[in-house]
Amino acid sequence: MILIADASALIALVSCNGLEFLHTLFSDMYVPRSVYDEVCVEGKPFYAELRDFLPPHCIEVDASAFVITDYSLGRGELEQCHSTNTSVPTFFW
């Protein structure tokens, strides 16, 4: 199964030392670049751990074709929704 991770889930996992479980649970993990940019800001909680863990999983997402109808979604959530085009079971978290 593929995981496409969002900032809140990553922060929750790193806060309880659970990032390594992702490799056990998922065959592939992708993190939209905007999510990386959101959590890897110097001074934010756990930024150093996430900065070291996330780079191999980062993907660029072209969100220019989005039509936003839910203004409560941030850029990370939007890119997360748009980042897969596969028939493989995918878990958005």
Q: Measuring CA to CA, how many Å separate 55 from each of 31, 40, 65, 88?
A: 9, 10, 25, 22
Residue pLDDT tens, the chain, 93 long: 777 788 888 999 999 999 989 889 888 888 888 889 999 999 999 999 999 999 999 988 776 665 555 556 666 666 666 555 554 444 445
Q: Measuring CA to CA, how many Å separate 67 from each of 30, 47, 78, 91?
A: 22, 31, 10, 22
How many CA atoms does the CB half-sphere of 5 hold within 13 Å? 28
Pairing of strands 2-4, 90-92: parallel
